[in-house]
Chain A
């Protein structure tokens, strides 16, 4: 005698299938979903001329790097002079 599958078990089977299907769907759609959820600075400050600020910071950094290289060169020359004096 076959024991009839109870409604409860059948429902359980159905829900697991449904969950599996939803799981697959989320994996397939994950790029779109994650795009919608993860907040990124995609439009950096709405581009309200922020590039001008970046350009200006780069100008200043270039200037200070130039000064640092100048000092570096000067100190190396001085070290050379001291070494020559010692000989």
Chain B
């Protein structure tokens, strides 16, 4: 019990925010819209996956730059573990998006520009791990993957934020479709949505931080032996 009280405050914040998200997300009054029906509530679960992915990848690229600056092995571990978490968020985002699309757009994959672009950016990040695991020399591996990480991040930005807006997309806020503001009339959605983004991102960071600690310990064991 002592551990539960002494642990970092943001872990409790994460739990509180997610409990609020589930209760508020399922029970609060939502705008009544055709086709969407109750699935408008998916906003609190599907969209935060992408926000979480982008925030976690941002953290990853910051640590990659820090690694290149200082050559500190710790930053490389942070960078790669955060990228790993980002891919997990991305996969969850794509799968939940496909379920949502099946019941609102009619099919799970309608070659929507944003769907394709997010799949491409996920593949770019998967290549990061292929690259990382294919290099034997440790220092070379860390440096090349840090540089690739920066490249992947700055390729993701136009893929997710610029290109889908230039084409006709089914996603709200793209290609002449109204954005999230159009149906966010009563601000109830907004309250839960921002809470959800923070909560899911904190959960992702929590898991990534455990992975970082494990990798650091692994490193220590290897250095000692």
Contact = CB atoms under 8 A, between A and B. Distances in A.
Interface of A: 45, 48-50, 52-53, 55-57, 59-60, 63-64, 67-68, 71, 74-75, 78, 81-82, 85
B96 A56 contact: yes
Interface string B14-40: 000000001000100000000011110
A48 B37 contact: yes
A78 B36 CA distance: 47
B182 interface: no
Contacts of A71: 207, 210-211, 214
B65 interface: no
Interface stretch (B121-129, B150-158, B163-171, B216-224): B216-224
Interface of B: 22, 26, 36-39, 41-42, 45-46, 49, 85, 88, 91-92, 95-96, 99-100, 102-103, 203, 207, 210-211, 214, 217-218, 221, 224-225
Chain B contact residues, majority secondary structure: helix
A61 B92 CA distance: 10
Contacts of A74: 211, 214
B221 A85 contact: yes
Contacts of B96: 56, 59-60
